[in-house]
Chain A
Amino acid sequence: MPPGSLKSYPRSIATLALLGLAGWFALSGWRIAAWDALLPLFEWMETTWFGVIGKTWGAVFAVAEATHLLAMALLGGAIVISDGRLLGLLLRDVPVEQVLNKTHRLFVIGLVIAIASGIFMACGVATKIYYLPVYWFKMLALTVGVLFTFAIRRPLLADGVENLNPWVVRAVAVASLTVWFTVAASGRWIGFSG
C-alpha cells in the first residue's frame, strides 16, 4: 500500500470515534434525557402545515409515501451500482472513478428527496413515531449512513481506489450496503409498528 493512501485513514478513524461516541450516547442515560427534551418538538411538528396536511388528506400522505419509496429506489440503485463496482460485481468494464462520481450525484438526489418526503410524513404522525423504538433506530442508522458516506467512504475513495488496500475497499463497500439496507429495512418496519 503506497504511503500516500494513509492520509485518509486518520479522518476515517476520527469519524469512527464519533460514531462510537454516538453509540455510547445511545446506550447511556443521556439518551433518555434527550428523548424527553424532544417531545415538545414532535408535538409542534404535528401542528405545522405539513402535520395538518398529512393528517387531513390521506391521499397526499400516500403520495408522499410513494415519493419516499421512489427516492429509496434511486438512492439504493446508486448504492448497489457503486458498491457493486467496488466489489467487482457490476460494470467491471467501466472505470471505477467514473461510476463512483456519477452515481454519487444520483445518491444525493435520492437522499434529499427521501429526507424531504420523510420530514413531511414524520410531521403527520409525529407523536406516534416519537414513541416507536424502530423510528429512533432508523434515525440512528440514517445518521450513521450519512456520516459513513460523506465522512468516511467518499473521502477515502477520493484518493483513488487503486491506492487503497483492496480489502479496505471491499470492507467499505460491504459496510455501505449493510448500513443503507438497514436504513431501508428499519424504515419499512416503522409501518408495521405502533
Chain B
Amino acid sequence: MFNQLVYEFALWLDASQWSTLLHESYYMYSWVETTHVLSLILSLGLLFVIDLRMLGIALPQVPASVIARRLRLPMFIGFGLMIGTGLLLFYAIPVRSAQSVWFRIKVLLLLGAAANALLFHYRMQRSVASWDNATIAPRNIRAGALLSLLFWTLIVVCGRLIAYDWYDCSHGQSGFIEAFAGCIDGQTQF
C-alpha cells in the first residue's frame, strides 16, 4: 500500500514537464548536483567542527556555546541549500530515486540525524551553563556528537551509493530487496 502510493506519487512527479527538463538538461542537472555536493562544505564542514568541539578535538579553548551559536546560521544556510537541491535532484529522477534502496536508507538516517540533533540541542540548552568552558563536553553531549558524526558519515556514503544501479528494480532483485526498495509487480516505468 505504502509502496504503491510512493510509486504513484513518483509517477506523478515524473509526468511533469519540469522534471523531464531538469533531468535532460546536462548543465542544469550538473549544477544542481554540484551545488548539492558543495553545500556539504557549509553544512557538514561546520557541523563537524561543532561536534569535534564537543569531543575536545577542535577549538577546545573556545566556549562550546560560542561555537554552536556562531556557526549555526551558516550551517543552516548550508543545510537549506543541501535540502533544496536534494529535493530538486529527487524531482528530476523521481521513480528511480523513490525505489532506490540507498535513498530509502538515507532518508531513515536523515530522520535519525534530525532526531539526534534535536535531542543534542535540548540537552545542550539545559546544561551548557555548567560546562561551557570545559575542553570536553559531558558524556551525553559527547555521545550525541559521536552519533551525529556517524549518522552523517553514513548519509554521505548512502548518498554516493544512490548513483550505482546494483539494486535497481529494473534489474530484477531478490524478494527482500524488492520489498525494501518498494518495487511494484508489473511496473513499466523505472
A-side interface residues toward B, CB under 8 Å? 58-59, 62-63, 65-66, 69-70, 72-81, 84, 90-94, 98-99, 102-103, 106, 181, 184-185, 188-189, 192
Q: B166 near A: Cβ within 8 Å?
A: yes
| A179 CB → nearest B CB, Å | 13
**In contact, B34 and A72 (Cβ under 8 angstroms):** no
**In contact, A80 and B38 (Cβ under 8 angstroms):** no
Dominant secondary structure of chain B at its interface with chain A: helix
| B67 CB → nearest A CB, Å | 8
Residues of A contacting B49 with CB < 8 Å? 77-78, 81, 103, 106
The answer for the CA separation of A11 and B21 in the assembled complex, in Å, is: 51
Interface string of B148-175 (1 = CB under 8 A from A): 0000010011011101101000000000
Dominant secondary structure of chain A at its interface with chain B: helix
**In contact, B41 and A188 (Cβ under 8 angstroms):** no
| A182 CB → nearest B CB, Å | 11
The answer for the CA separation of A23 and B131 in the assembled complex, in Å, is: 51
Other-chain residue from B30, B34, B67, B157 in contact with A63 (beta carbon distance below 8 A):
B157
Give B158's nearest chain A residue, CB to CB.
Answer: A66
A-B contact pairs, 7 of them (CB 8 A): A73-B44, A74-B48, A76-B45, A77-B42, A81-B45, A102-B61, A188-B33
The answer for the CA separation of A58 and B58 in the assembled complex, in Å, is: 34
Q: A72-B41, A80-B42, A184-B38 are in contact. Are A94 and B66 (CB under 8 A)?
A: yes
**In contact, A192 and B164 (Cβ under 8 angstroms):** no
Q: B37 near A: Cβ within 8 Å?
A: yes
The answer for the CA separation of A58 and B102 in the assembled complex, in Å, is: 14
The answer for the CA separation of A103 and B71 in the assembled complex, in Å, is: 14
B-side interface residues toward A, CB under 8 Å? 26, 30, 33-34, 37-38, 40-49, 52, 58-62, 66-67, 70-71, 74, 153, 156-157, 159-161, 163-164, 166
**In contact, A91 and B66 (Cβ under 8 angstroms):** yes
**In contact, A62 and B161 (Cβ under 8 angstroms):** yes
Give B44's nearest chain A residue, CB to CB.
Answer: A73
Q: Output the residue of B52, B58, B66 with the most chain A CB within 10 A.
A: B58
* Top-6 shortest CB links A-B: A77-B45, A76-B41, A73-B44, A66-B157, A66-B160, A73-B40
Residues of B contacting A181 with CB < 8 Å? 38
Residues of B contacting A75 with CB < 8 Å? 45
The answer for the CA separation of A80 and B47 in the assembled complex, in Å, is: 12
**In contact, A73 and B48 (Cβ under 8 angstroms):** yes
**In contact, A72 and B40 (Cβ under 8 angstroms):** yes
Residues of A contacting B37 with CB < 8 Å? 69, 184, 188
